[in-house]
Structure 1
Amino acid sequence: MNTTAKIGLYGAALALTFTSAYGIGAVADPLTGKTPSAPHAAHQESNAMNHGNRHTGATPPLPGGLQISQDGYTLNLLTPRLAAGQEAPLRFAIKDEAGKAVTDYARAHDKELHLIVASRDLNTFRHLHPSLGTDGIWSTPVDLPAAGDYRVFADFSPAKQGAKPLTLGADLAVAGPYQPRELPPQKATAEVDGYAVTLDGTLAAGKMTGLTLSVAKDGKPVTDLEPYLGAYGHLVALRAGDLAYLHVHPEGEPGDGTTQPGPSISFMATAPTNGAYRLFLDFKHQGNVHTAAFTLPTTNRTTPDATTTQHEEHTSTEHH
């Protein structure tokens, strides 16, 4: 996804916006931070997760990835089942209202479509870039290590005039011996491929807080991160429980004169709800892309507003 087109794919919806001190920032929603640039704003608007007052009469939009159909587009997963530990092609199409496969997409972050595959327990994560056939069918090889239920997210922008960026989701079943796994525990440092990525900061519902991710290798800060999808870092956030989806990209870009290639990546974030979030940071160094994963629960509890409390008390009285 091109950073000038910012916030895209997987960028849909939880009221979340991350901002980068040296460049990482605009998003689509569960963690909301700094006001994005114009290209990011259009994408964020379509993907924002609105948790407004329930008494306003307005229905808040669903977070990205929770729907298989939206705005006339449908994710048609042609490979609904795979076998664990066996590489096989994953095929799908995006259908329009007429049931025709879409073949024309707008590029965002260097790609026309981004595909995320994540297990429901958030222990397995894949960020893939499939190939598009002339028949409108996307395909990519995938090898998932563990059996269980997975969610497939297609993050894209139709090239049709007036169409908004979308993140659609569908369930994928992976067959094999199944062993339930718990959500990975919270840790400050993630070890991946010889790199140590440290997360500093907290996440709070309804309150903006700072998050900083620092990359090191062999005990030394990495100061020569390489561009990946038009940026130095790429972040996907999934909410534990329903896998509500958020894709975050930096506002700055390589070569803009201010964005530094590491070691620290800073964000300002606000969680829309209390709960646990799983963060996946992609970064590129020495020609290879690495993914560091973190579990980050919120650290506070929100207090119900007076209107909500009165409503609940009134309802409770009626039932008694």
Structure 2
Amino acid sequence: MKPLSTPVRLGAFAAVLVVVFGVAFGAGRLVGPDAIADERPADAAHDPAGQHGGDHAVPGSAPAADGYAMAIDPYTGGLSFRITGAGGRAVTRFDTVHEKPLHLIVVRRDLSGFQHVHPMMDADGTWRAPLTLPDGGPWRAYADFTATGGAATVLAADLDVPGPRTTGPLPAPATSTVVDGYTVRLDTHDGVTLRVERDGRPVTDLQPYLGAAGHLVAIAQQDLAYLHVHPKEPATGGPDVRFAVEGAAEGTHRLYFQFQHGGAVHTAEFTVTGVGGGHAHN
């Protein structure tokens, strides 16, 4: 995969989080402009109302941005949606980024219930994910993708899931958590480092997950803005997975760190207050 290094301003989210990483979203094949003209986003002349959002939209803040829109169907035990471009036509060509053409993140609006799945796309551009959401109430779905010929884009849509509605406070900040028998330790003194241990011993044979040593999703509590981060070292076996962070911090975020070991993917979650500020690179 070809890494991208163009800085992306996160708007309101940039005031609270900055991550600079060496292995970022890679680009798959690119084709000539004539081959993809029907799926490119409309320019300003064709979008005078700005309904598809501007170049500075905060990732994960709206269902339309950068000339693309996310049309999501009501949740009925599975999730289906479409990414549309110019003229409202469904986009059907996507670059492969970290081994998948589209990453779908779903989380309750109280930042619980995190899921990272990879839906399949029908020929007509409809994406389908056999997703089971355990509780009713408000959820948010993030579509993280790069349409062929376009820029890396994150769109978000709210879901009203039927069923009992429960909500809870965000867990307090902590420097370690236990998930599936693994202890994961968080160190934010020099960037962000996640250390994976099991039975009191460091895990040194982490397996690549989607082409990287680990993945980190950060979602802001205040506005649910989103950032998907990849580590500095692309293929380290652990126990440490490092993410470089710069600047002073404000605001509270929920971090979701995913790693693979023993053939299974595990997700460790942390609440943090203060993790940098400024620009993010991806």
Give distance in 1, aligned partners of 2:24 and 2:130.
Answer: 35
2:221 paired with 1:240: yes
1:283 aligns with one of 259, 265, 280: 259
The verdict on how the C-alpha distance between 1:109 and 1:37 changes in structure 2, with shifts beyond 3 A counting, is: closer
Give distance in 1, aligned partners of 2:269 and 2:4.
Answer: 22
| 1:160-309 superposed matches below 5 A | 160=149, 163-201=150-188, 209-254=190-235, 260-270=236-246, 274-298=250-274
Q: Deviations over 1:103-157 (max 9, x none)?
A: 1111111110000001110111000000011111100111112222111100111
The verdict on how the C-alpha distance between 1:130 and 1:12 changes in structure 2, with shifts beyond 3 A counting, is: farther
Residues 121-130 or 62-71, more deviating: 62-71
Give distance in 2, aligned partners of 1:81 and 1:224.
Answer: 39
The verdict on how the C-alpha distance between 1:30 and 1:242 changes in structure 2, with shifts beyond 3 A counting, is: same
Give distance in 1, aligned partners of 2:276 and 2:185.
Answer: 22
The CA deviation at 1:71 is: 2.1
Give distance in 1, aligned partners of 2:260 and 2:63.
Answer: 31
The verdict on how the C-alpha distance between 1:300 and 1:71 changes in structure 2, with shifts beyond 3 A counting, is: closer
Structure 2 unaligned blocks of 5 or more = 28-53, 278-282
Say if 2:16 and 2:274, in contact at 8 Å, map to a contact too. Answer: no
Give distance in 2, aligned partners of 1:140 and 1:164.
Answer: 24
Q: Deviations over 1:61-102 (max 9, x none)?
A: 232010211122110102x334xxxxx221011011211111
2:67 paired with 1:81: no
Residues matched between the structures, number: 251
Q: Could you say which residue in structure 2 is the equivalent of 1:155? A: 144
SS in 1 for 2:270: strand
The verdict on how the C-alpha distance between 1:62 and 1:128 changes in structure 2, with shifts beyond 3 A counting, is: same
The one-letter code sitting in structure 2 at the alignment partner of 1:129 is H
Give distance in 1, aligned partners of 2:70 and 2:10.
Answer: 20
Q: Deviations over 1:198-221 (max 9, x none)?
A: 11225xxxxxx4222100111111
The verdict on how the C-alpha distance between 1:109 and 1:169 changes in structure 2, with shifts beyond 3 A counting, is: same
The one-letter code sitting in structure 2 at the alignment partner of 1:214 is R
2:26 paired with 1:32: no
Give distance in 1, aligned partners of 2:247 and 2:104.
Answer: 24
Q: Could you say which residue in structure 2 is the equivalent of 1:102? A: 91
The one-letter code sitting in structure 2 at the alignment partner of 1:74 is A
Q: Deviations over 1:252-288 (max 9, x none)?
A: 323xxxxx21001122214676110100001000100
The one-letter code sitting in structure 1 at the alignment partner of 2:222 is G
Give distance in 2, aligned partners of 1:221 and 1:35.
Answer: 24
Q: Could you say which residue in structure 2 is the equivalent of 1:65? A: 60
TM-score w.r.t. length of structure 1: 0.71
SS in 2 for 1:98: helix
The CA deviation at 1:177 is: 1.6
Give distance in 1, aligned partners of 2:78 and 2:182.
Answer: 30
**RMSD (Å) for aligned C-alpha atoms:** 3.1
The verdict on how the C-alpha distance between 1:12 and 1:236 changes in structure 2, with shifts beyond 3 A counting, is: farther
**Could you say which structure has the larger radius of gyration?**
1
The verdict on how the C-alpha distance between 1:60 and 1:107 changes in structure 2, with shifts beyond 3 A counting, is: closer
